[in-house]
Structure 1
């Protein structure tokens, strides 16, 4: 018999060569100290025999049986648990394991004192229920709460309840609904795919207030979303043990795209409209480029704020720019489109619509606010009622425009890439070297460290950084084709209203014609 647990030994074991003392391998690896829900005030320490001052029987305070082997003891309260009661089989929460809850025996002192529910983490003063196998103490109402729930604010189909968040390797310590801290010693709803955490009561209350019919349940899982690829492989090359996709046929373009690692100008990706860096895919027949990130975007996606599937489409420079439903900027390029809701999401914002992000501009994780609030953005200094990422530790907020700014950009005034910079290293020069106006040193800007070159974000990227200029538009009031332009010099007068064209405009492409009008989405619809 094992001297640790008083159970028969079969298989390899440890023994003392001087006396009749045997131990299972698992009993030699018992932790020296544990914390248990039945006695949350103090830790319990492993003892091999009763302390010298102990008199009478050595009894387990849960099962009331005499202890014949190792026990865990609280030296402050003389509270004992034998090995079976201290380390039950369902403590590890094996998938599908059902807890066996009963009302706590009247003989235990916890019957008449307040307790903290291990299921929801809130206090209670009613008669608690305990799992006979693992000593979890819960409210009576928490016994029947759902094992998993679906939340519209969360991107994955389900989040699962766990009693032991500390065993899930979670780095998130804040509720994704109320943004307050969570105690990892108690139960929460948790998503292991994206480290989303929610208080039990927050999750259930939000779920009840946003109830959907069974017909709205998602019909695909997150893995299913990636089955429909956006491209077909035309040619691969082998480089050592690595296979490189050298040529593809992408749904968004009529010609094949070739992987290249050099360029002669500063192209933009036609998918995300961001400055493109090598390697990327290029069309050899026309001016079309896609970076590697946009190549892999799935054709169909679900978004936690829309019950319908979103389809990836391309808005070219020949079409009107769309307005992103999140950042409210006008864009060309890829968007996820909902035909039923008539909404568009640019791919930069869509990739950022996670419950939490880590951004180089701040030291703490940032959490997507559940509701839109009028908050001051720490990146650009602008206040608005759009959705923001918030830091729950300090007063730091980030709107989607700043959260999706490119890390690197290019400008003709500097031969090197410019990097988005969050803290101004200078204590003497707060001037934009493009427009030669003052900069606010507290706001983000672009910088070339090698040239000591600093510039406003707007001066580097432009007022409309995600619109592809050019194209060919036709309107009833003018006989020649018009091109989409962004006027930065001379500001000619609009043909229809007479005001200066200092932003997006439609300009005649005929070299002898000076026709120009403001570009406004409402006006384009009327034309």
Structure 2
């Protein structure tokens, strides 16, 4: 069943809004994960995208890679036709956020990982780190969920209080808690909101300063006006005597 059409940069044909048939299973050509409704696709090419993947921005300034913006690519540009994700370390063959200058690549879902999460295997909040928490290069960090080793350059969810950590992709079924602040936000969203809050604070401070300056100026004008009136009264109330 079709609802609307969309021309996406990743595909030469129009992508139509579709609904899956009961029991139908297909994978997204962007994130390579199973699709549930809603979705857009081209049936003639068997090309399908989650609506969320369809609307992924074409570029991203991520806090893990501040030197350059990351560009959304529909296919890896390496000769191997695949990329190794700098977040989770696993291979990808579809969409990626990529920096050509640094050969830095992220799965699109890794780029959207929240900066803080809770999982059922640990009572405390886990924070996203962009490299191993082990300062000693000779120490290998072991995931407390799968018990596999973690590459020093890959992302980790970590509780420093308990020295508990996991691979970024070992947190399936994690929950985020909006009441904890920014727990449900990705790193980039958190940075943008934090910046927005700072801008709002600066604007509020400037407005307060302007009001204070206006009130001070008004008081000065009123004071000067009062003194002028008193001078006029004083000059009119004193009788002048002329002596001959």
**What TM-score bracket applies, with the shorter chain setting the length?**
0.5 to 0.7
* 2:102 maps to 1:367: no
SS in 1 for 2:69: strand
Structure-2 residue corresponding to 1:296:
55
* 2:119 maps to 1:351: no
Structure-1 residue corresponding to 2:72:
312
SS in 1 for 2:57: coil
- Pairing of 1:442-461 with structure 2 (within 5 A): none
Structure-2 residue corresponding to 1:334:
95
Using the alignment, how far apart are the partners of 1:379 and 1:282 within structure 2? 36
Structure-2 residue corresponding to 1:269:
28
SS in 1 for 2:111: helix
With normalisation by structure 1, the TM-score equals 0.28
Deviation of 1:269 after TM superposition, in Å, equals 0.6
User: Which of the residues 256, 272, 275 maps onto 2:14?
Assistant: 256
User: Which of the residues 80, 83, 93 maps onto 1:322?
Assistant: 83
Deviations 1:396-424 (A, max 9, x none): 31112313x5x5xxxxxxxxxxxx9xxxx
Structure-2 residue corresponding to 1:397:
165
Structure-1 residue corresponding to 2:148:
382
Partners of 2:39 and 2:50 within 8 A in 1: yes
User: Which of the residues 30, 33, 43 maps onto 1:284?
Assistant: 43
Partners of 2:75 and 2:94 within 8 A in 1: yes
Partners of 1:314 and 1:334 within 8 A in 2: yes
Q: How many residues align?
A: 161
Deviation of 1:308 after TM superposition, in Å, equals 0.4
Gaps of 5+ in 1: 1-235, 238-245, 408-419, 421-527
Deviation of 1:390 after TM superposition, in Å, equals 0.7
Partners of 1:255 and 1:285 within 8 A in 2: no
- Pairing of 1:46-445 with structure 2 (within 5 A): 246-263=4-21, 265-306=24-65, 307-315=67-75, 320-352=81-113, 354-359=114-119, 362-369=122-129, 371-372=131-132, 373=134, 374-384=140-150, 385=152, 386-403=154-171, 405=172
Deviation of 1:366 after TM superposition, in Å, equals 1.0
SS in 2 for 1:303: coil
Structure-2 residue corresponding to 1:14:
none
Bigger fraction of residues in helix: 2
SS in 2 for 1:258: strand
Partners of 1:376 and 1:383 within 8 A in 2: yes
Deviation of 1:288 after TM superposition, in Å, equals 0.7
Using the alignment, how far apart are the partners of 2:121 and 2:93 within structure 1? 27
SS in 1 for 2:52: helix
Change (3 A) 1:333 1:377: same
Deviation of 1:378 after TM superposition, in Å, equals 2.2
Change (3 A) 1:282 1:304: same
SS in 1 for 2:68: strand
Using the alignment, how far apart are the partners of 1:360 and 1:248 within structure 2? 39
Bigger fraction of residues in strand: 1
Change (3 A) 1:335 1:381: same
Deviation of 1:367 after TM superposition, in Å, equals 0.6
Deviation of 1:375 after TM superposition, in Å, equals 2.4
Deviation of 1:363 after TM superposition, in Å, equals 4.0
Change (3 A) 1:299 1:361: farther
Gaps of 5+ in 2: 135-139, 175-244
